[in-house]
């Protein structure tokens, strides 16, 4: 470790000037260690940022998949119901509707149909 790192306090201008006058090897070692520290800090910052971005992207994709599945389910229900409604309104749709209702009503129940 260079000797300039052991100085903790500089009391007067003369000792400050002597502290700042390092030989070129010590200056180079000091600057390279500072740059290495910066590189390590920025690398850690980049890794942490990438992890956060990855996690938030995973959460977003999961939510989008849930929304897509829900949309497809509701769309299939809508298509089924609209098909059944179109069948009901079409020619002899009432008769087809009554045939579908046979499955829901047991045979010993009397069915009353109100017609306008």
Q: Which residues of 63-98 are buried (b: 16+ CB within 10 A; e: fewer)?
A: eeeeeeeeeeeeeeeeeeeeeeeeeeeeeeeeeeee
Instruction: Tell me the whole-structure pTM to 2 decimals.
Output: 0.49
Q: List pLDDT tens digits, range 2-15.
A: 555 444 454 556 66
pLDDT greater at residue 105 or residue 6:
105
* Residue 110, in any domain of the structure: no
pLDDT greater at residue 115 or residue 11:
115
* Residue 108, in any domain of the structure: no
Question: According to the model, what pLDDT value does residue 10 have?
Answer: 46
How many domains is the chain partitioned into structurally? 1
Domain extent, residue 37, equals 3-101
* Residue 51, in any domain of the structure: yes
């Amino acid at each position: 470790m260079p000797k300039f790192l052991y100085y903790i306090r500089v009391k007067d201008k003369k000792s400050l000037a002597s502290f700042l006058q390092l030989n070129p090897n010590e200056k180079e070692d000091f600057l390279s260690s500072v740059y290495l520290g910066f590189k390590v800090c920025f690398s850690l910052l980049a890794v942490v940022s990438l992890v956060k971005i990855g996690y938030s992207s995973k959460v977003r994709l999961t939510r989008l998949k849930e929304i897509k599945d829900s949309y497809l389910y509701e769309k299939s229900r809508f298509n089924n119901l609209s098909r059944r409604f179109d069948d009901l309104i079409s020619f002899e749709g009432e008769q087809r509707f009554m045939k579908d209702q046979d499955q829901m009503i047991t045979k010993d129940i009397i069915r009353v149909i109100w017609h306008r």
